[in-house]
Amino acid sequence: MSVRYELDIHTHTIASGHGSTATITDMAKAAAARNIKMLGISDHGPRTFGGGRASYFRSLANAQKERLGVRMLYGAEANIVDRKGRLDLPDEVLSRLDFVIASMHRPILKPGSKEENTETYLRVMANPYVTVIGHCSDTHFPADPFRLFFEARKRHILLEINNSSLSPEGYRGDTRFADLVILNLSAHFHYPVLFSSDSHGTAHIGDFAYAEELAGRAQIPEGLILNRSAEGFLEFLRKDK
Ligand SMILES: [Zn+2]
Ligand SMILES: [Zn+2]
């Protein structure tokens, strides 16, 4: 990696119910070994089979803010459960988290038309607790990246460039077109983007290789990539919507 990235906030532990048996401490250890300064834990919400229950997310408010020298943020990857844009965690839980990623997953949400998916995302963005829209370039849930970008900018929400979607082993189809549109709009309108590893377990924490390559093609200024600065990301979170 030519650029040093300080944070990764889309990662999954054993509490997500699949893909990993790593504990939060295992994750922090791996992050520290990779020089990641700030790690966000974002386990799947309750509608994912075996995902975290509301009580798990509620208790994260008491979890250690620093582990092994890594600044910890505790969030969730909440499921978008219907076309009204509702999530699978109540506001009372969402409001205590450091950040909230909202994502469409099968089979929890049946993919709709491009128009339907876009409208649903726009409704999700009206939720004041949502910080990031997860993997919105998923080809199984086609959406209009232009409309998503302008709404995200208006609502002070980030669209992530999900590295696992871009991986050749990814299972969200070819997401490059929509991701490139988002990166180009970010560069043009000078609005930040967020890379995420979506690492299930420790293996891919801080791995943004594919996202970085695509961002290079969009010639996005490095300063717009929020992963560059833990302080910059915290500042983004502090800004009122
Ligand atoms: Zn997801
Ligand atoms: Zn995820």
Give the per-residue pLDDT at 7. Answer: 98
pLDDT reported for residue 240? 76
Which fold does the domain 7-224 belong to in CATH?
A: TIM Barrel (3.20.20)
Integer Cα distance of 103 and 41 in angstroms: 15
pLDDT at residue 8 in the model: 98
Residues bordering ligand 2, an ion, CB closer than 5 Å: 77, 198
pLDDT at position 2:
53
Which listed ligand is nearest to 134 at the C-alpha? 1
Rg (C-alpha) for the chain, rounded Å, is: 16
Distance CA 161, CA 212 (A): 9
In angstroms, what is the span from residue 232 Cα to ligand 1's centroid?
24
206 CA distance to ligand 2 centroid (A)? 14
Residues of the chain with pLDDT under 70: 1-3
Q: How many CA atoms lie within 13 A of 84 on its CB side?
A: 3
Expressed in angstroms and rounded, the spacing between residue 12 Cα and the centre of ligand 2 is 7
Q: Quick check: bond before 107 cis, omega within 30?
A: yes
What DSSP string describes 163-179?
Answer: HHHHSTT-SS---HHHH
Residue-level pLDDT at 95: 97
pLDDT at 1: 44
Global confidence as pTM:
0.97
Q: In 26-130, which ranges are E strands?
A: 38-44, 66-67, 70-79, 99-103
- Distance in angstroms (rounded) separating the CA atoms of residues 70 and 108: 33
